[in-house]
Amino acid sequence: MDNNCIFCKIIRGEIPSRKVYEDEDILAFHDIKPVAPVHFLMVPKLHIPSLMEAGQGHQAVLGKILALSGKLAQEQGAKDGFRTIINTGRVGRQEVYHLHVHIIGGPDPLPAMLKR
Ligand code: 5GP
Ligand code: ZN
């Protein structure tokens, strides 16, 4: 837990969020500024700042997030696919330093991943 982390505050219920899913390891909630009809975030409850700090001890929770992503995405309406994005660090233009996976369904089809 990081007292100043906005996602830790959401996990603790100190900041409201629109919950998609919760268990002992994971919270999923809708992004406050969605870029698509389906746009939610999946976070480990453990405060891991980014993928730069992720290590072997985090394999289980990170695997759990990905293994659950398709089910939650479909439940939220992304029936024909979606994109997962993890922004990491300055170059990755990460804004919130609590590791999170964006689940983005739409627009249909999504633009190409990056401009060549
Ligand atoms: P990043 O750029 O770090 O990958 O993305 C951070 C995401 O968190 C952004 O899409 C932003 O809209 C979302 N976000 C930031 N603050 C809050 C908040 O207080 N509540 C929710 N639900 N989403 C937030
Ligand atoms: Zn945190």
Q: pLDDT tens digits, the chain, 116 residues: what are they? A: 788 999 999 999 999 999 999 999 999 999 999 999 999 999 999 999 999 999 999 999 999 999 999 999 999 999 999 999 999 999 999 999 999 999 999 999 999 998 88
Distance, in Å, from the CA atom of 62 to the CA atom of 74, rounded to the nearest integer, reads 19
Q: Which domain holds residue 68?
A: 6-105
Tell me, in angstroms, the distance from the centre of ligand 1 to residue 91's CA.
17
Ligand 1 atom 17: the closest Cα is on which residue? 32
φ, ψ (nearest 5 deg) of residue 97: -90, 60
- What phi-psi label fits residue 101: left (phi over 0), alpha (psi between -120 and 50 degrees) or beta? beta
pLDDT value, residue 1: 76
**Per the structure, how many domains does the chain have?**
1
Would you please indicate which residues are annotated as catalytic (active-site) residues? 100
Tell me, in angstroms, the distance from the centre of ligand 2 to residue 7's CA.
5
Contact (Cβ atoms closer than 8 angstroms) between residue 29 and residue 9: no
To the nearest 10°, report the CA torsion of 100, 109, 106, 25: -30
The answer to the question of residue 54 being in a domain is yes
The answer to the question of residue 115 being in a domain is no
pTM of this prediction? 0.97
